[in-house]
């Protein structure tokens, strides 16, 4: 019995150590970025490096919002990400249901291919199309192009989720006289709520972090936050404090959302990965 407990202890210790080794680079990177954002420029360029701000300052954050109009860019990111996520749910949830119930494996594979294809592959034809329509520099092209990212995520997650739902419940609704859309709305949709939550969070995160579409299609006043961080860089020198502050402004919402919703994400992905009747 004691030997079994010792084995369990060392197995758990090994697991914790492995997790620590995996996440420690990301944690150290985030702490170093926070340190740069809370120090003045003389401390950021000091040698040997100064890690703990003494005293900490918010001047870099103030500088970012005053000189780079980050408030406007934050509003742009919120509009684009929420719009792209909402439209992706509107299109992707019914599509995932239809593909799952029709057992359309080839369509599911096409969705997966669309998901893993780099966004740069879509950029040139979309840029030419929006240029011809005179829409370059507005938020509309950003919302539409972000659907290239968000819709495949939603569809792929919902396919797995709807395939795992008991078919008997929908069959009973159809026998009682419900249409397929009524069965979807009143039976499948409420049961798939955890999957919809996961799809919403992941679609929002990928849309919020997207850089390549914004840097090409956005105008001076319609930039999103990832593009605005890039614009903090100058040719003369790199101001590490404002750059780190800008990066934190972009990272913080996604990081907080992930931490707050981590249980829902894990539960939703786990449930969606379990197939069965």
| pLDDT per position as a tens digit, 222-265 | 888 888 777 666 544 567 777 788 888 888 888 787 777 777 66
The stretch 16-23 carries a mean pLDDT of 78
Angle of CA points 115, 95, 124, to nearest 5° = 40
The stretch 180-188 carries a mean pLDDT of 80
Structural tokens at position 138:
């507005």
Q: How far apart are the first and last CA of the chain?
A: 39
pLDDT tens, residue by residue, 125-170: 888 888 888 888 888 888 998 888 899 889 888 888 888 777 777 7
Residue 277's pLDDT is 41
Residue 235's pLDDT is 47
Residue 276's pLDDT is 43
- Candidates 264, 259, 202; CA nearest to 26 is 259
pLDDT tens, residue by residue, 89-123: 999 899 888 888 878 777 777 877 877 777 777 78
Residue 83's pLDDT is 93
DSSP H helices, the chain, are 2-37, 41-44, 59-67, 70-102, 105-116, 120-133, 139-163, 167-175, 180-183, 189-191, 193-209, 212-217, 225-232, 240-260, 262-272
Q: pTM above the 0.85 mark? A: no
Task: Delineate the domains of the chain, giving CATH numbers in brackets.
Answer: 59-272 (1.10.3720.10)
Residue % of the chain over a pLDDT of 70: 86
Residue 206 contacts residue 157 (beta carbons within 8 Å): no
The stretch 60-71 carries a mean pLDDT of 77
The stretch 79-98 carries a mean pLDDT of 91
Kindly tell me if the per-residue pLDDT of 179 is higher than 60. Answer: yes
* Rounded CA separation 235/229 (Å): 14
Lowest mean pLDDT among 2-16, 140-154, 186-200: 2-16
Residue 90's pLDDT is 93
Residue 237's pLDDT is 56
């Amino acid at each position: 019995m004691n030997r079994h407990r010792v084995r369990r202890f060392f197995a758990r210790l090994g697991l914790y150590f492995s997790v620590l080794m995996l996440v420690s680079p990301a944690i150290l990177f985030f702490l170093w970025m926070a340190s740069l954002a809370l120090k003045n420029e003389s401390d950021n360029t000091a040698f040997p490096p100064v890690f703990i701000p003494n005293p900490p300052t918010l001047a870099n954050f103030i500088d970012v919002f005053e000189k780079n109009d980050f408030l406007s860019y934050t509003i742009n990111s919120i509009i684009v990400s929420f719009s792209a996520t909402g439209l992706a749910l509107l299109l992707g949830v019914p599509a995932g249901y239809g593909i799952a119930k029709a057992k359309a494996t080839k369509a599911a594979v096409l969705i997966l291919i669309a998901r893993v294809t780099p966004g740069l592959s879509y950029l040139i034809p979309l840029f030419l199309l929006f240029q011809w329509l005179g829409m370059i520099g507005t938020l509309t092209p950003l919302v539409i192009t972000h659907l290239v990212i968000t819709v495949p995520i939603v569809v792929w997650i919902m396919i797995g989720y709807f395939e795992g739902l008991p078919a008997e419940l929908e069959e009973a609704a159809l026998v009682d006289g419900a249409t397929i859309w009524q069965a979807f709305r009143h039976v499948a949709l409420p049961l798939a709520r955890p999957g919809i939550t996961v799809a919403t969070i992941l679609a929002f995160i990928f849309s919020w972090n997207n850089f390549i579409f914004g840097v090409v299609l956005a105008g001076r006043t319609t930039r999103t936050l990832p593009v605005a961080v890039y614009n903090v860089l100058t040719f003369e020198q790199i101001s590490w404090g404002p750059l780190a502050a800008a990066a934190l402004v972009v990272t913080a919402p996604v990081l907080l959302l992930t931490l707050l919703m981590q249980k829902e994400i894990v539960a939703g992905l786990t449930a969606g990965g379990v197939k069965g009747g």
